[in-house]
Structure 1
Amino acid sequence: MSYLALKHLHVTCVVLSGLGFCLRGWWMFTESPLRQHRLTRILPHIVDTLLLGSALSMAWMSGQYPFVHGWLTAKLFGLLAYILFGMMALKRGRTLAIRVRYFGLAVLAYVFIVSVALTRNYF
């Protein structure tokens, strides 16, 4: 697969992942039964696996790696924050207020990752 095709797949998965997270957050806030639907539990894992796989493939093809290039390191740490905050927001937060706070932090982490990707700068 060409680098350009991988990049298009990656960007598509970034958008799908962010929109899917926001939708699941909305369903959590409204206590919708759709958040327990089988597709809701499976599809994010498929999208995120494609997202991570395309990112790793592009890093390998371009020779740009985290801990060598600062902007990729920033994206990696942003991703870890996004995963942890998202997990607390959608699954582990004990109260709705805690989940709302973590949801906001997860969205901020997502925005940080996208801004670093677009500018290749983390300050």
Structure 2
Amino acid sequence: MDYLTIKALHMWCAGLSISLFSLRGGLQLAGIDWRRWRLLRIAPHVVDTLLLSAAIWLATLLQQIPFVHGWITAKVLALVAYILVGRLALKAGQPPRRAALAFGGALLCVAYIVCVAITHSASLGLF
């Protein structure tokens, strides 16, 4: 596969992953048990696996290495934060206020990741 195809796959998976997270988070905040739908339990894992695979493939093609290239490092660290905070947001039995705060924090993390991807700058081109 060529660079543009892999990049398109990565971007498509990123959009789908964010959409699925937003849907599950919205249902969680509305008090709807989204876990009863098999698709909402399985699809995010499949999409996120494709997303990460495409990201690794792109990084390899472009020779962009985390902890060597600042913007890739920022994306990786923000991804770890997004995963941890996102888990809190979607945890069953979570108090609504805590779930809402975690959901907002996770969305801020993913917004940062997208902005870093666009600007190729950990500081978002501000410095």
TM range (shorter): over 0.9
Shift of 1:92: 5.9
Alignment gaps of 5+ in structure 1: none
Partner of 1:118: 118
Deviations 1:60-79 (Å, cap 9, x if unpaired)?
A: 11111111100000000000
Partner of 2:37: 37
Change (3 A) 1:41 1:86: same
Secondary structure of 1:65's counterpart equals coil
Identity among equivalent positions (%) equals 46
Deviations 1:88-108 (Å, cap 9, x if unpaired)?
A: 000167311111100000000
Task: Give the aligned residue type for 2:100.
Answer: V
Alignment gaps of 5+ in structure 2: none
Secondary structure of 1:58's counterpart equals helix
* Aligned positions, number: 123
Secondary structure of 1:77's counterpart equals helix
Aligned partners of 2:50 and 2:68: how far apart in 1? 23
TM-score, scaled relative to structure 1? 0.95
Structure 1 stretches of at least 4 aligned residues deviating more than 3 Å after TM superposition: none
Aligned partners of 1:56 and 1:23: how far apart in 2? 26
Secondary structure of 2:91's counterpart equals helix
Aligned partners of 1:98 and 1:15: how far apart in 2? 25
Aligned partners of 1:2 and 1:73: how far apart in 2? 24
Q: Is the Cα contact below 8 Å between 1:27 and 1:35 reproduced in 2?
A: no
TM-score, scaled relative to structure 2? 0.92
Shift of 1:33: 3.6
RMSD: 1.2
Which structure dedicates a bigger proportion of its chain to helix?
1
